[in-house]
Structure 1
Amino acid sequence: MLVECYDKKGAEVYEIIIKQIFQDLVLGASVDDLKAFVNPDDPVFILAIKMKKTSTVVEFKDVASFSYNKQNDVTMILVDDENYLPNILNKLWRIFSRDEIYQPNRYQLEISGNQMDLENLVIDDPHSNLQRRIYDAIFRILPEGFKIIKDMSTKDIIAVVATDELIMDSWIEKAEEYIAELNNGM
């Protein structure tokens, strides 16, 4: 972690703030590196965070077995991994009403019609979940009043430039440097 600031005390304070927020949100183990730039003279805050690799997306077929009963026109789903049941129900309730999903027991779901195409429904996306949590941390870290934000994120690096004035080209260049350094493991 590197916090750059022309004011040494300011850098120390922001490092403490960042560490505390990461600890509160349990993000420490999910981040490879972080670079921040704070300048008390110019109202600018630049933050670039490299995420660790996450597991791949989990599709419905990865955690459940599907069968279609043509005679009764019902798709039966047997959930193999109970840990995903809240995600499964949440996704299904967005597609169908709660009344359309019959759940005779904890692991079994029944839906009218041929719903075999649900096998490819993404149930969990760890990369997106981690991104969302890191953005939450960033918005907690940003100084109050810095409402002008340029998101410069790439695939595995979340980077923002924030200010309460117009964003200067030199700040964008600084963020691009941080992104390049994080990509190269510097």
Structure 2
Amino acid sequence: MLVECYDERGAEVYEIIIKQIFQDLVLGSSVDDLKAYVNPDDPVFVLAIKMRKTSNVIKFEDVANLMYNKQNDVTTILIDNENYLPNILKELWKRFSRDEIYQPNRYQLEIKGDFTELGSIVVDDPHSNLRRRIYDAVFRILPEGFKIIKDLSTEDIVTVVATDELIKDAWIEKALEFIDELNKGI
């Protein structure tokens, strides 16, 4: 972690703030590196956070078996991994009313009709979940009043430039340098 600031004490304070927020949100092990630039004289805050690699997306077919009974015209979903049941229900409720989903027990769901194509639907995306949690941290870290924000994030690096005035090209260049350095592991 590197916090650049002409004021050494200010850099230390921001480093403490960042570490505390990461600890509160349990993000420490999910981040490879972080670079921040703070300049109170030129009100700007640049933050770039490199995310660790996450596991692949989890689809219905990875955590449940879908079977269609043509005779009864019912798709039965047998849950293999109960940990994903809330996510499965959430996805089903996006597509069906709660009344259309019958749950005779914790590990079984039934829907009238042939819905075996649900197998390819994503029920959990660890990369997206981590990205959302990192954005939560970013908005907690940014100084109060810095409402003008430019998001320069890439696939695995969350990067923002924040200020309370017009964003300068030099600040964007600084953010792009951070992205380049984090990609190279500098």
The normalised TM-score by structure 1 is 0.99
Runs of at least 5 residues in structure 2 that lack an aligned partner in the other structure? none
Shift of 1:10: 0.5
Question: Which residue in the other structure is 2:173 paired with?
Answer: 173
The runs of at least 4 aligned residues of structure 1 exceeding 3 Å deviation read none
> Hey, what's the Cα distance between the residues in 2 that align with 1:146 and 1:115?
48
Shift of 1:91: 1.0
| More displaced 10-residue stretch of structure 1: 89-98 or 166-175 | 89-98
> Hey, what's the Cα distance between the residues in 1 that align with 2:20 and 2:138?
12
Question: Which residue in the other structure is 1:58 paired with?
Answer: 58
Shift of 1:114: 0.4
Question: Which residue in the other structure is 1:162 paired with?
Answer: 162
Cα-to-partner distance string for 1:98-136 (whole Å, 9 max, x where unaligned): 000000000000001000110001000000000000000
Counterpart residue identity of residue 105, structure 2: N
> Hey, what's the Cα distance between the residues in 1 that align with 2:114 and 2:91?
17
Q: Percent identity?
A: 77
Question: Which residue in the other structure is 1:21 paired with?
Answer: 21
Shift of 1:94: 1.1
Counterpart residue identity of residue 74, structure 2: V
> Hey, what's the Cα distance between the residues in 2 that align with 1:68 and 1:92?
16
Runs of at least 5 residues in structure 1 that lack an aligned partner in the other structure? none
Question: Which residue in the other structure is 2:108 paired with?
Answer: 108
> Hey, what's the Cα distance between the residues in 2 that align with 1:168 and 1:174?
10
Counterpart secondary structure, 1:165 = coil
Is structure 2 residue 98 aligned with structure 1 residue 98? yes
Question: Which residue in the other structure is 1:140 paired with?
Answer: 140
Cα-to-partner distance string for 1:11-44 (whole Å, 9 max, x where unaligned): 0000000000000000000000000000010010
Counterpart secondary structure, 1:162 = strand
The normalised TM-score by structure 2 is 0.99
Count matched residues: 186
Counterpart secondary structure, 2:185 = coil
Cα-to-partner distance string for 1:118-169 (whole Å, 9 max, x where unaligned): 0001000000000000000000000000000000000110000000000000
Question: Which residue in the other structure is 1:182 paired with?
Answer: 182
